[in-house]
Protein backbone atom coordinates (compact mmCIF):
# COMPACT_ATOMS: atom_id res chain seq x y z
CA UNK A 1 0.00 0.00 0.00
CA UNK A 2 1.33 3.40 -0.96
CA UNK A 3 1.08 6.28 1.48
CA UNK A 4 1.43 9.71 -0.10
CA UNK A 5 1.70 11.81 3.05
CA UNK A 6 2.03 11.64 6.81
CA UNK A 7 0.09 13.84 9.21
CA UNK A 8 1.71 14.25 12.62
CA UNK A 9 -1.09 15.23 15.00
CA UNK A 10 0.05 16.13 18.49
CA UNK A 11 -0.89 17.81 21.75
CA UNK A 12 2.33 18.47 23.63
CA UNK A 13 2.54 21.25 26.25
CA UNK A 14 5.99 20.16 27.49
CA UNK A 15 7.15 18.77 24.11
CA UNK A 16 7.49 15.11 25.13
CA UNK A 17 4.65 13.84 22.93
CA UNK A 18 5.91 15.98 20.06
CA UNK A 19 9.42 14.52 20.29
CA UNK A 20 8.10 10.97 20.17
CA UNK A 21 5.88 11.76 17.19
CA UNK A 22 8.71 13.41 15.27
CA UNK A 23 10.97 10.41 15.89
CA UNK A 24 8.33 7.98 14.60
CA UNK A 25 7.91 10.08 11.48
CA UNK A 26 11.69 10.21 10.92
CA UNK A 27 11.82 6.44 11.11
CA UNK A 28 9.26 6.16 8.34
CA UNK A 29 11.49 8.06 5.95
CA UNK A 30 8.66 9.82 4.09
CA UNK A 31 9.43 13.39 3.13
CA UNK A 32 5.88 14.76 2.80
CA UNK A 33 4.84 15.47 6.39
CA UNK A 34 2.06 17.78 7.58
CA UNK A 35 2.21 18.95 11.18
CA UNK A 36 -1.07 19.45 13.05
CA UNK A 37 -0.16 20.98 16.42
CA UNK A 38 -3.19 21.11 18.73
CA UNK A 39 -1.27 22.34 21.76
CA UNK A 40 -2.27 25.98 21.75
CA UNK A 41 -5.48 25.88 19.74
CA UNK A 42 -7.82 23.56 17.89
CA UNK A 43 -6.80 23.01 14.27
CA UNK A 44 -9.02 24.10 11.41
CA UNK A 45 -11.38 21.40 10.25
CA UNK A 46 -9.21 18.96 8.32
CA UNK A 47 -10.06 15.90 6.26
CA UNK A 48 -7.78 12.90 5.84
CA UNK A 49 -8.02 10.43 2.96
CA UNK A 50 -7.33 6.70 2.97
CA UNK A 51 -3.98 7.22 1.19
CA UNK A 52 -2.62 9.32 4.06
CA UNK A 53 -1.25 8.19 7.42
CA UNK A 54 -1.93 9.88 10.75
CA UNK A 55 0.53 9.67 13.63
CA UNK A 56 -1.26 10.86 16.77
CA UNK A 57 0.69 11.50 19.99
CA UNK A 58 -0.83 12.81 23.22
CA UNK A 59 0.11 12.97 26.92
CA UNK A 60 -1.51 11.08 29.77
CA UNK A 61 -2.80 13.02 32.79
CA UNK A 62 -3.93 10.97 35.77
CA UNK A 63 -4.21 7.78 33.75
CA UNK A 64 -6.35 9.37 31.01
CA UNK A 65 -5.74 11.10 27.71
CA UNK A 66 -5.51 14.84 28.30
CA UNK A 67 -9.16 15.96 27.93
CA UNK A 68 -8.13 19.13 26.11
CA UNK A 69 -6.36 17.01 23.48
CA UNK A 70 -9.53 15.04 22.77
CA UNK A 71 -11.59 18.21 22.60
CA UNK A 72 -9.25 19.70 20.01
CA UNK A 73 -9.34 16.57 17.86
CA UNK A 74 -13.11 16.32 17.64
CA UNK A 75 -13.41 18.12 14.29
CA UNK A 76 -10.85 16.00 12.47
CA UNK A 77 -12.51 13.99 9.69
CA UNK A 78 -11.05 10.70 8.47
CA UNK A 79 -12.13 8.23 5.81
CA UNK A 80 -10.70 4.94 6.96
CA UNK A 81 -7.36 6.74 7.31
CA UNK A 82 -4.69 4.46 8.84
CA UNK A 83 -3.45 5.81 12.15
CA UNK A 84 -0.62 5.18 14.59
CA UNK A 85 -1.67 6.20 18.10
CA UNK A 86 0.72 6.86 20.98
CA UNK A 87 0.23 7.92 24.59
CA UNK A 88 3.10 9.41 26.59
CA UNK A 89 3.07 9.06 30.39
CA UNK A 90 5.34 10.05 33.26
CA UNK A 91 6.64 6.62 34.34
CA UNK A 92 3.76 5.85 36.74
CA UNK A 93 1.00 4.28 34.61
CA UNK A 94 -1.04 5.08 31.53
CA UNK A 95 -3.95 2.91 32.76
CA UNK A 96 -6.62 2.90 30.00
CA UNK A 97 -5.39 5.97 28.13
CA UNK A 98 -4.38 4.04 25.00
CA UNK A 99 -7.77 2.32 24.87
CA UNK A 100 -9.47 5.71 25.30
CA UNK A 101 -7.48 7.21 22.46
CA UNK A 102 -8.23 4.20 20.25
CA UNK A 103 -11.98 4.50 20.85
CA UNK A 104 -11.93 8.25 20.22
CA UNK A 105 -10.02 8.23 16.93
CA UNK A 106 -11.91 5.16 15.69
CA UNK A 107 -15.07 7.20 16.23
CA UNK A 108 -13.60 9.79 13.84
CA UNK A 109 -13.19 6.98 11.26
CA UNK A 110 -9.45 6.50 11.62
CA UNK A 111 -8.24 2.91 11.31
CA UNK A 112 -5.74 2.16 14.07
CA UNK A 113 -2.96 0.01 12.61
CA UNK A 114 -0.35 0.45 15.37
CA UNK A 115 -0.08 1.77 18.89
CA UNK A 116 2.53 2.66 21.44
CA UNK A 117 3.05 3.68 25.06
CA UNK A 118 6.13 5.83 25.68
CA UNK A 119 7.63 7.43 28.76
CA UNK A 120 8.24 11.16 28.96
CA UNK A 121 9.36 13.39 31.82
CA UNK A 122 6.47 13.80 34.25
CA UNK A 123 4.76 17.18 34.40
CA UNK A 124 5.50 17.33 38.14
CA UNK A 125 9.20 16.50 37.72
CA UNK A 126 11.58 19.06 39.20
CA UNK A 127 15.22 19.37 40.27
CA UNK A 128 14.17 18.39 43.80
CA UNK A 129 11.90 15.52 42.77
CA UNK A 130 12.94 14.22 39.34
CA UNK A 131 10.38 11.87 37.76
CA UNK A 132 11.51 10.27 34.50
CA UNK A 133 13.75 13.31 34.09
CA UNK A 134 15.19 13.78 30.61
CA UNK A 135 12.86 11.34 28.91
CA UNK A 136 12.39 10.78 26.10
CA UNK A 137 16.14 10.26 25.95
CA UNK A 138 18.26 9.11 23.00
CA UNK A 139 17.29 5.47 23.52
CA UNK A 140 13.60 6.35 23.63
CA UNK A 141 13.85 8.33 20.41
CA UNK A 142 15.80 5.57 18.70
CA UNK A 143 13.10 3.09 19.73
CA UNK A 144 10.46 5.46 18.31
CA UNK A 145 12.34 5.70 15.01
CA UNK A 146 12.55 1.91 14.81
CA UNK A 147 8.81 1.78 15.49
CA UNK A 148 8.25 4.14 12.56
CA UNK A 149 10.36 1.92 10.30
CA UNK A 150 8.26 -1.11 11.29
CA UNK A 151 5.06 0.77 10.51
CA UNK A 152 6.37 1.61 7.06
CA UNK A 153 7.16 -2.06 6.41
CA UNK A 154 3.64 -2.99 7.49
CA UNK A 155 2.20 -0.48 5.06
CA UNK A 156 4.44 -1.66 2.23
CA UNK A 157 3.43 -5.29 2.77
CA UNK A 158 -0.30 -4.53 2.46
CA UNK A 159 -1.65 -4.77 -1.08
CA UNK A 160 -4.27 -2.08 -0.38
CA UNK A 161 -6.25 -0.44 2.40
CA UNK A 162 -8.59 -3.42 2.63
CA UNK A 163 -5.67 -5.72 3.41
CA UNK A 164 -4.09 -3.37 5.94
CA UNK A 165 -5.17 -4.94 9.20
CA UNK A 166 -5.95 -3.01 12.34
CA UNK A 167 -4.77 -3.82 15.86
CA UNK A 168 -6.49 -4.31 19.21
CA UNK A 169 -4.48 -2.03 21.47
CA UNK A 170 -5.80 -3.85 24.54
CA UNK A 171 -3.35 -6.62 23.63
CA UNK A 172 -0.27 -4.40 23.99
CA UNK A 173 2.27 -5.71 26.47
CA UNK A 174 2.27 -3.77 29.71
CA UNK A 175 5.56 -2.45 31.14
CA UNK A 176 6.89 -4.25 34.19
CA UNK A 177 5.63 -2.83 37.48
CA UNK A 178 7.21 -4.02 40.75
CA UNK A 179 4.50 -4.70 43.31
CA UNK A 180 5.96 -3.13 46.45
CA UNK A 181 6.63 0.40 45.07
CA UNK A 182 3.09 0.44 43.67
CA UNK A 183 1.64 -0.75 46.97
CA UNK A 184 3.67 1.86 48.86
CA UNK A 185 2.44 4.57 46.50
CA UNK A 186 -1.23 3.61 46.86
CA UNK A 187 -0.96 3.40 50.64
CA UNK A 188 0.66 6.82 50.86
CA UNK A 189 -1.90 8.36 48.51
CA UNK A 190 -4.73 7.12 50.73
CA UNK A 191 -2.97 8.48 53.81
CA UNK A 192 -2.36 11.83 52.12
CA UNK A 193 -5.99 12.20 51.09
CA UNK A 194 -7.23 11.30 54.57
CA UNK A 195 -4.89 13.86 56.12
CA UNK A 196 -6.78 16.75 54.59
CA UNK A 197 -3.58 18.41 53.35
CA UNK A 198 -4.66 21.03 50.78
CA UNK A 199 -3.59 20.22 47.22
CA UNK A 200 -2.38 23.07 44.98
CA UNK A 201 -4.67 23.57 41.99
CA UNK A 202 -2.38 25.88 40.02
CA UNK A 203 1.34 26.67 39.93
CA UNK A 204 2.63 29.15 42.49
CA UNK A 205 4.42 32.33 41.38
CA UNK A 206 7.23 34.19 43.13
CA UNK A 207 6.38 37.80 42.31
CA UNK A 208 9.94 38.86 43.16
CA UNK A 209 11.31 36.64 40.39
CA UNK A 210 8.64 37.16 37.73
CA UNK A 211 9.71 39.70 35.08
CA UNK A 212 6.38 39.60 33.21
CA UNK A 213 8.14 38.43 30.06
CA UNK A 214 4.92 36.76 28.94
CA UNK A 215 6.48 33.44 27.99
CA UNK A 216 4.11 31.56 30.31
CA UNK A 217 1.18 33.21 28.52
CA UNK A 218 2.45 31.97 25.16
CA UNK A 219 3.09 28.44 26.41
CA UNK A 220 -0.14 27.84 28.33
CA UNK A 221 -2.31 25.51 26.21
CA UNK A 222 -5.48 26.34 28.14
CA UNK A 223 -5.32 30.14 28.14
CA UNK A 224 -5.15 30.18 31.93
CA UNK A 225 -2.59 33.02 32.09
CA UNK A 226 -3.21 36.53 30.77
CA UNK A 227 -0.60 38.98 29.52
CA UNK A 228 0.08 41.62 32.16
CA UNK A 229 -1.24 39.37 34.92
CA UNK A 230 1.40 36.65 34.81
CA UNK A 231 1.35 36.15 38.56
CA UNK A 232 -2.25 34.92 38.41
CA UNK A 233 -3.42 31.57 37.00
CA UNK A 234 -7.08 30.89 36.27
CA UNK A 235 -7.88 27.86 38.41
CA UNK A 236 -10.88 26.93 36.25
CA UNK A 237 -8.79 26.72 33.09
CA UNK A 238 -5.47 25.36 34.40
CA UNK A 239 -4.86 21.72 33.41
CA UNK A 240 -1.67 21.40 35.54
CA UNK A 241 0.47 20.44 32.56
CA UNK A 242 3.26 22.62 34.06
CA UNK A 243 4.31 23.98 30.68
CA UNK A 244 4.55 27.40 32.34
CA UNK A 245 6.72 26.00 35.14
CA UNK A 246 9.18 24.22 32.85
CA UNK A 247 9.30 27.14 30.42
CA UNK A 248 9.86 30.00 32.89
CA UNK A 249 13.40 31.39 32.34
CA UNK A 250 13.40 33.01 35.79
CA UNK A 251 12.13 29.89 37.60
CA UNK A 252 9.44 32.09 39.09
CA UNK A 253 6.80 29.37 38.72
CA UNK A 254 6.64 26.15 40.75
CA UNK A 255 4.05 23.47 41.35
CA UNK A 256 4.71 22.12 44.82
CA UNK A 257 2.32 19.20 45.03
CA UNK A 258 2.90 16.39 47.58
CA UNK A 259 2.35 13.94 44.74
CA UNK A 260 5.71 14.90 43.24
CA UNK A 261 7.57 13.41 46.20
CA UNK A 262 5.42 10.27 46.12
CA UNK A 263 5.98 9.72 42.41
CA UNK A 264 9.70 10.35 42.78
CA UNK A 265 10.04 7.88 45.66
CA UNK A 266 7.86 5.10 44.27
CA UNK A 267 8.55 5.13 40.53
CA UNK A 268 12.29 5.52 40.14
CA UNK A 269 12.75 2.38 38.07
CA UNK A 270 12.53 3.41 34.39
CA UNK A 271 9.64 1.79 32.56
CA UNK A 272 9.96 0.38 29.06
CA UNK A 273 8.28 1.74 25.95
CA UNK A 274 5.85 -0.71 24.36
CA UNK A 275 4.42 -1.03 20.85
CA UNK A 276 1.87 -3.13 19.00
CA UNK A 277 1.45 -3.46 15.25
Does the pLDDT value for residue 71 go beyond 90? yes
Contact 21, 57 (CB under 8 A): yes
Q: Do 138 and 94 sit in the same domain of this protein?
A: yes
Residue 59, classed as helix, strand or coil, is strand
Q: Residue 148 is part of a domain; what is its CATH number? A: 3.40.50.360
Residue 264 domain-assigned (yes or no): no
Give residue 222's domain range: 204-256
pLDDT the model gives residue 94: 95
The DSSP result for 110-148, as a single string, is EEEEEEEEEE---TT--SSS-SSTT-S-HHHHHHHHHHH
Q: Do 38 and 159 sit in the same domain of this protein?
A: yes
pLDDT tier for residue 72 given thresholds of 50, 70 and 90:
very high
Residues 6 or more apart whose CB falls under 8 angstroms from that of 121 comprise 14, 16, 90, 131, 132, 133, 134, 135
Distance between alpha carbon 62 and the CA centroid of its chain, in Å?
12
pLDDT tier for residue 160 given thresholds of 50, 70 and 90:
confident
Share of the chain above pLDDT 90, in %: 79
pLDDT the model gives residue 110: 94
Q: Do 157 and 64 sit in the same domain of this protein?
A: yes
Q: Give pLDDT tens digits for 75-93.
A: 998 989 999 999 999 999 9
Q: Do 139 and 225 sit in the same domain of this protein?
A: no
What number is the average pLDDT over the span 236-265? 94
Q: Taking Cα atoms as reference points, which of 2, 29, 7 lies closest to residue 149?
A: 29
pLDDT the model gives residue 277: 94
Per-chain mean pLDDT for the chain:
93
Considering its fold, how many domains does the chain have in total?
Answer: 2
Residue 232 domain-assigned (yes or no): yes
Q: Do 50 and 93 sit in the same domain of this protein?
A: yes
Does the pLDDT value for residue 1 go beyond 90? no
Q: Do 168 and 36 sit in the same domain of this protein?
A: yes
Q: Do 105 and 221 sit in the same domain of this protein?
A: no
pLDDT the model gives residue 61: 95
Residue 190 domain-assigned (yes or no): no
Residue 192 domain-assigned (yes or no): no
What number is the average pLDDT over the span 176-195? 88
Q: Residue 238 is part of a domain; what is its CATH number? A: 3.30.70.20
Amino acid sequence: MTITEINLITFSPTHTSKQIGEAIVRGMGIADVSFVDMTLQAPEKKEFGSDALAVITVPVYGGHVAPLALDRMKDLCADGTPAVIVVVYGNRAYEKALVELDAFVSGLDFKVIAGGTFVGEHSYSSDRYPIAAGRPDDDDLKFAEEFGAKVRIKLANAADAEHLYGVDVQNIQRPKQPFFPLFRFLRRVIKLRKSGVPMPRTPQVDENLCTHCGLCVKRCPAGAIVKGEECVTNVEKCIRCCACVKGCPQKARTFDTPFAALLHDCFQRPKENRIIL
